[in-house]
Structure 1
Amino acid sequence: MLMPEALRTAEDRFADLPDFPWQPRYRDNLVGYEGLRMARIDEGPEDADQVFLCLHGQPAWSFLYRHMIPVFLDTGARVVAPDLFGFGRSDKPVDDATYTFNFHRQSLIALIEALDLRRITLVVQDWGGILGLTIPPDMADRFDRLLVMDTVLGLGGGSTEGFDAWRRMHGEQLDYDMAALFKDYVPGMSDAVAAAYAAPFPDARYRAGARRFPFLVMTEPQMEGVEVSKRAARWWASEFQGDSFMAVGEQDKLIPPWLMMRMHEILGLTRPPLRLPNAGHFVQETHGAEVARAALAAWAENPEG
C-alpha cells in the first residue's frame, strides 16, 4: 500500500529531555506500514522473563512513562514504550484522514509481531487503552498481565461532559499551546517538562494525529472500533487468565472515577483499584512510580489468574 505523506520531527527538538535518558529505536518496515518510521523506547534484556508494553494516549508520547520505566527495569524486565504514529519521535502523516482506529490498532499489532513480544504486561492509559485493550483477544498467548489507568473501551455508549469539552476544543483550535495544555491538566508541572510534551509538535502541520484522536473515540454505536471493543470486553471478563491492576486518578475530568469503576466491572477485575485522590488524567506523570510499585507488590503478594 502507498504510504501517506508524513513529517518527521527534528531530533534537536528532543535535546535535554528531563528524566528521560533513553535513546529511541526505530522500525520503518512494519508490515502494512513500510516507509513510515515508528519510534520506541526499548530497554532491558530482549530475552527477559517479562515485557512491559507501555502504550500512551493523546496528546502524549512515551515520555509520559519516564517515572514507570525505571521501576519496571529494576525487576529485570524488558520495557517497550512505542510512540504511536503522529506522536513523539514517530513519523506524522499530514492528512487527518489517515488516522483511524484500525490504522493505529493494526500498527501496534504489527510492532508486537515484528518484535515477537511475549509474556507481556500491558500498561495502558487514555488512547493506549482504547486501542491496547482490544489487542490481546487476537493474540492471547502473548499477554500475561494488565495494568490499566484512566482509560475506557470504546463501546459506543456516549461520552462525558469533560470529554465533550476536550473534543470541542480540538475542533476549534488547530494550533493550541501544547505546553500550556499539559500545565493546565497537571498543576505545578515545570516549564521544562511541559516543553518536552510539546516537543514532537513544532506547529499545526505536525498535529494531525493529535487533532484527530478526540473524534475517533467511539461515543456512537456505529463508529469504527465499537464491535472489536465489545468483543474485547467479553474476552477480558470471561477469558483472560492473567493478573490485573487498576489505578484511578480521582481528579480526572475526562474519564471520571465513576467511569473507571464501570471499567473495573466491564473488565471483570476483582482486585480493588488503587484510588489516587490527587491524580488527574495523566496518572503516569504525577504518580507513575507509585502505581508501578503498587502493581508489582500486588502481583507478588497475592497473584490472581
Structure 2
Amino acid sequence: MKILRTPDARFANPPDFPFAPHYCEVRNSDGTTLRIHYLDEGPREADPVLLMHGEPSWSFLYRKIVASLVARGHRVVAPDLVGFGRSDKPAEQLDYTFERHVRWMSDWLVATRLTDITLFCQDWGGLIGLRLVAAFPEKFARVVVANTGLPTGEGFSAAFQQWLEFSQSIPVLPVGQIVGMGCKRGLSEAEKAAYDAPFPDESFKTGARRFPALVPITPQHGSVAENKAAWKVLENFRKPFLTAFSDSDPVTKGGEQIFQQRVPGTKGQKHVTITGAGHFLQEDKPDEIADLLHEFIASTK
C-alpha cells in the first residue's frame, strides 16, 4: 500500500485552530503502518467527548466546538479519518473499504484507551462512529447523532445520488467549495483554504473521492451484513442517545426517525432540530452544538 502524507507546512495557521497535533500509528492487514492524527484538548482526567467528522472535512470542522467545550472543563478528542486532514492517505481507491476504515479507527480507539465517551458524529463520522459503538459499547456513555446514518442497502435520496455522480465525475474535486456549499452561512476564503489544505493535489483526494461510492445504499454494496449486525447491537443500546439533525440537509433529511424508532436509548431524550443549518451544521451552529453537548452530558451523568 502506497501512503501519502500531507506536508506539515500545509497546515500553517488555519483560522481559529491553535491546537497541537497528536498522532497514533495503526497497522493495516498487509503490514503497512498508517499514522492517524487527532486533537486531544482539555483536562486528561475528564471524560472524553469524541467528535467524528465525515466527508470531505477533517477535525478543523470542530474547531469552535472544541474551544467552547474545553472552556467548560471537558476533554475533547477529534480524530482525522484515514485519507483526511493530517492523517495518512492511501494512494489507491481500492485501498479504501468501509471495513478497513472501521478497523483502522477501532485500533486507534483501543490505542488511545478512551472510556466513558460521549460521541458526537456526523456524515461518515456516524457511519464509522456507530460501528465503533457497536463494537465497543462498554466504552461509550452516550451518543449524539447528527446528519448521518448507518445504511444497510435499502436505497438512497435523490440528493445523495447527485452527490455521488458529482464526486465520481468531476475532474478536480473542490473540497473547500464543497464544504462551503454544505453550509447555510458563507465560509471565508481562509476557512475554505483550511479545508483544501490536506490535499496538495488530486492524488491526495483518493479517499475523499472513494467515500461516496462506499456508502452501502444497495444490497450489493460491501458492509451491508456488518452494518445489519451493528444495528442489532444498537437496538439493545440503552444508554442516552440523542438525535440532533439540522433542518436544511437534503441528503439526511428525516434520518433521525430510524434512530428514534430503533435505539432504546433515544426514549425520553430531548431530541432537537438544529435550525438554520445545512449538512455541515458544525460550521453553521457551533455554539448551539457545544451547548447541547454540555447540557446533555450534565443531564445524563
The equivalent of 2:108 in structure 1 is 111
CA RMSD of aligned residues (A): 1.8
Which of 251, 255, 276 does residue 252 from structure 2 map onto? 255
AA in 2 matched with 1:68: I
Equivalent position to 2:167, from 165, 170, 183? 170
Is the alpha carbon distance of 1:298 and 1:28 closer, same or farther for their aligned partners in structure 2, counting shifts above 3 Å? closer
* Cross-structure match for 2:271: 273
What is the match of residue 143 of structure 2? Answer: 146
Residue identity in the other structure for 2:181:
D
The more displaced of 58-67 and 69-78 is 69-78
CA contact (8 A) 2:235 2:263 kept: yes
Q: 132-141 vs 78-87, which deviates more?
A: 132-141
Q: Distance in 1 between matches of 2:119 and 2:8?
A: 28
The answer to whether structure 1 residue 231 and structure 2 residue 225 are counterparts is no
**SS of corresponding position for 1:284:** helix
Amino acid of the structure 2 residue aligned with 1:189: L
Question: Which residue in 1 is equivalent to 2:292?
Answer: 294
Which residue identity is paired with 1:294?
L
- Give how far 1:276 is off: 1.9
Name the counterpart of 2:61.
64
1:206-225 to structure 2, matched below 5 A, reads 206-225=204-223
Work out which of the residue numbers 134, 137, 143 in structure 1 matches 2:134.
Answer: 137
**2:37 maps to what in 1?**
39
Displacement after TM superposition at 1:140 (Å): 1.8
Paired with 1:99 and 1:190, the residues of 2 have a C-alpha distance of 31
Tell me if structure 1 keeps the 8 A contact 2:84–2:208: yes
CA contact (8 A) 2:26 2:107 kept: no
- Which residue does the alignment assign to 2:125? 128
Equivalent position of 1:282 in the other structure: 280
Normalised by the size of structure 1, how large is the TM-score?
Answer: 0.91
Aligned mates of 2:61, 2:243 — CA distance in 1: 17
Identity of aligned residues (%): 36
Please give the alpha-carbon distance, in whole angstroms, between the structure 2 residues aligned to 1:203 and 1:293.
37
Tell me the amino acid that sits aligned with residue 286 of structure 1: D
Give the secondary structure class of the aligned counterpart of 1:68: helix
**Structure 1 Cα separation of the partners of residues 51 and 140 of structure 2:** 13
Question: Which amino acid in the other structure matches residue 218 of structure 1?
Answer: P
The question of whether the paired residues in 1 share the 8 Å contact of 2:179 and 2:280 is answered with: no
Contact 1:61 1:87 in 2 (8 A): yes
What secondary structure sits across from 2:77 in the alignment? strand
CA contact (8 A) 1:28 1:34 kept: no
* Normalised TM-score (structure 2): 0.93
Note the C-alpha offset of 1:110. Answer: 0.2
Give unmatched runs, 5+ long, in structure 1.
Answer: none
Number of residue pairs matched by the alignment: 297
